A = this chain, B = another copy of it.
Amino acid sequence: MDKRNLQVCMTPALFDLYADKKSIVVVVDVLRATSSMCIAFEQGVEKMIPVSTVEEALEYRNNGLDYILAAERNGAPVKSFDFGNSPQVYIDMDVQGRTVVMTTTNGTKSISIAKKEHDVAIGSLLNLDAIAKWLIVQNRDVIIFCAGWKDKFNLEDTLFAGALAQQLVESGLYDGSCDAVQASQVLWEQAKDDVYGFLENSSHRKRLAKLDIDSDVHFCLKVNQTTKIPVLKDGFLVSVNE
């Protein structure tokens, strides 16, 4: 039997090169958009609406809908929004049954790009094992799509790509010969015992350090805190379980 195709796309600027209209695209923005999405569903959020712009998000408020509005730009919360991009706010607040409209610098932009022609699922270290098992059951080609930082390569999303790719390749069902798949697996292998330490000098860690959100970083780097898998259906993220 031919193996399923597996690709890692390291930044949104490269997505057109990997797009094939048939793969499931796993969007990852470890720090912090997709981590927040995974934990939001774990905490009882019913659906999320990822939008590209702050203006689009504000329209939901202007229409009088009882939605939580979450927005981040350049790592910081956007003024007048309910939430920023911190995953921990979903633990501190009661979000049971709520709908969240979210826009972030890189994560929701990547979802917008992917959803045009592909089915989309949301990955983070928080739901690593769950999404790996779920993908294997789907029996489809997969593109792991790193949100990066403003179209540049970043380490933390690539580490997640390596962690997920490793499980898919080890299942024996996926062809792991894509160069970016191989590179990301080597990086994960070196990082996995101390991901926080491995990222200590990364550009985004430094960027976030200025924002004093170190506890968010620790939070986002813990593997397997939820079995929820956010998937996009009709423009909404809803949760499936593996």
Which residues of A pack against B, CB within 8 Å?
Answer: 10-11, 13-14, 17-18, 149-155, 158, 176-180, 182-183, 186-187, 190, 201-204, 206
Contacts and interface: CB of A to CB of B under 8 A. Distances in A.
Given A14-B13, A14-B14, A158 B182 contact: no
A190 B186 contact: yes
Contacts of A151: 14, 17
Contacts of A204: 179
Contact of A182 (B11, B150, B152, B202): B202
Among the interface residues A155, A176, A183, which one has the most CB atoms of the partner chain B within 10 A?
A183
Number of copies: 2
A202 B190 CA distance: 19
A155 B179 CA distance: 6
Nearest to A18: B152
A177 B158 contact: no
A42 to B, nearest CB: 28
12 contacts: A10-B153, A11-B14, A14-B153, A18-B152, A153-B179, A153-B183, A155-B179, A176-B201, A177-B202, A186-B186, A186-B187, A186-B190
Contacts of A202: 177, 179, 182
A152 B177 contact: no
A177 B178 CA distance: 26
Contacts of A153: 10, 14, 179-180, 183
Nearest to A14: B13
B17 A152 contact: yes
Contacts of A13: 13-14, 17
B206 A179 contact: no
Contacts of A178: 203
Nearest to A180: B153
Contacts of A180: 152-153
Contact of A177 (B150, B183, B186, B203): B203
Nearest to A176: B201
Contacts of A179: 149, 152-155, 202-204
